[in-house]
Chain A
Amino acid sequence: MNPLDRYESLVDDVDAFRAACDRPLPSVVRTNRIAATPARVREAFDEGGVAHEPVDWHDGLFRLPDGNPGGNWPYVHGWTHGQEEVSVLPTLALDPRPGERVWDACAAPGSKTTQIADAMDDEGTLVANDNNLGRLSALRHNAERLGITNAVVTNQDARNFSTRPLAFDEFDRALVDAPCSCEGTCRKNPDVLDEWTLDHVHAVAGIQKGVLARAVQATRPGGVVVYSTCTFAPEENEAVLDHVLANEDCELVEFDLPLETDPGVTEWDGETYDESVTRAKRIYPHRNDTGGFFCAKLRVGGNKDTGVGA
């Protein structure tokens, strides 16, 4: 079975949704502002004869119609990093600031980690964790290539993450970009549709709940937690939020993203979810010609006066 079939009831224009899922995505790179400005990247692309197109909702992104994002000088100098367009969204929602303490709970291979470090201007402390040691070496390679000096890399199970090796025991912000069924990446990697199983959805949803709960616990009152996946499955998205809303001291908050989104769903497969999950955002491929994505922003409970701009 093609798992995209089961989401047809969620989208307004099934034909457009399915057609978009069948089209490949262009190569995209993100400017690493620690090393260069978008204007300088553009100038270097022009000088080197590298074809590029702007992305209208983010001035640091460039589409490379000829592909080969690593075969040019801006890449070698760490000015750019290959990253799918929708993949920049969770860091925009997280909105980390220089000097803060930030946790990236499922960080490898590091596209979002390096974007967070960039947004922090490489100042403050960014803890990049992943349970997979092999994938962590890719993260370390990317972080070094982009010249990031404020990251601590840890290899723990995020569900039981210990802050003991750190100089503090609470974060200002945390990102849970969770392992998931990944149908949203089918335009890049159609194999994900063949490998999809409902058993995996249920197994990974348990992990997602554990990681998100730990992220809420490890974030200070008033702090921000962002939850994101690249799956359309409500079991891995709204159901995970619903579980954590019921069990941890946190709430979903409204936020803006610079492209067209759909609200989270409150009913799926006989289950109903907390009404506030409509504050989460679904990104369908046909809306903005991107990959598929899901993103939610939570504010950790406690004293409202200690907010960090949630």
Chain B
Amino acid sequence: MTDDAPTNDGQRFDRLPETPADREVEGRASRAEVLDWWDERFGIEREVFEGYSFWEKGAGKVWIFNGETTDPSEVEAIGMTFLRTRQEHWKPTGRAVSRFGSRATKNVIELDPERASRFAAGDDQDLPEWDGDWGYLIATHEVAGESVPIGVGLYLYDELRSVVPKGSRADLPVVE
């Protein structure tokens, strides 16, 4: 890599390259890797994201956009925050999980009503009975007869940590 190679400008949106072979900015995730990651981690098929474009702004923050592509150097936001990359374990945003998580087929943890309320409040909880993968999981609960994603949990050492951002936490009654 030479000194004049393109680098990530954290202040503006840049489109993700299609594949790792197209990558010009060091460390930037490619569209193909993003789609592979959702498929491998949660079983959400690549086709779900076919019409969307993906953009990086900030260090590793990936946005998903469904509109016509732009020259987004002068805009505040395009679409919504989707995934945190440039770290060992990529982390989906709670909004992405809320929007697309109902299509997940693995690494989904269904919580009972009492646990669901604690999770939404941001509490960590012991959950030794989980025998699936460690790492980021989609926490769900049942509402009106269907499973609905609540947000992102981090499962480590028999414990489910709620990583619901402070501004999105809620004190909700337990709905049996």
Contact (Cβ within 8 A) A148 B80: yes
- Of A73-81, A84-92, A217-225, A300-308, the segment with at least 4 beta carbons within 8 Å of chain B is A73-81
Across-interface contacts of B170 in A (CB, < 8 A): 70-71, 75-76
Contact (Cβ within 8 A) A149 B64: yes
The one of B71, B95, B144, B150 that contacts A144, using a Cβ cutoff of 8 Å: B95
Shortest Cβ gap from B151 to chain A (Å)? 9
The one of A78, A126, A133 that contacts B67, using a Cβ cutoff of 8 Å: A126
Contact (Cβ within 8 A) B143 A73: yes
Contact (Cβ within 8 A) B80 A165: no
In the assembled complex, B78 has its CB within 8 A of some CB on chain A: yes
Contact (Cβ within 8 A) A150 B65: yes
Contact (Cβ within 8 A) B173 A48: yes
Interface size class on chain A is 35 or more
Across-interface contacts of B143 in A (CB, < 8 A): 44, 47, 73-74, 77
In the complex formed, the residue of B with least CB distance to A125 is: B67
Interface size class on chain B is 35 or more
In the assembled complex, B120 has its CB within 8 A of some CB on chain A: yes
In the assembled complex, A24 has its CB within 8 A of some CB on chain B: no
Across-interface contacts of B69 in A (CB, < 8 A): 167
Interface residues of A in 16-51 (CB under 8 A from B): 35, 40, 43-44, 47-49
Interface residues of A in 163-182 (CB under 8 A from B): 164-168
Across-interface contacts of A151 in B (CB, < 8 A): 67, 77-79
Q: A-contacting residues of B (Cβ < 8 Å)?
A: 52, 64-81, 95, 98-99, 120, 143-145, 148-150, 167-168, 170-173, 175
Q: B-contacting residues of A (Cβ < 8 Å)?
A: 35, 40, 43-44, 47-49, 70-78, 101, 122-126, 133, 136, 140-141, 143-145, 147-155, 164-168
19 sampled A-B residue pairs with Cβ under 8 A: A35-B99, A47-B143, A48-B175, A49-B175, A70-B170, A76-B120, A76-B170, A76-B172, A77-B143, A140-B76, A144-B80, A145-B168, A147-B80, A149-B64, A149-B79, A152-B72, A152-B77, A152-B78, A154-B75
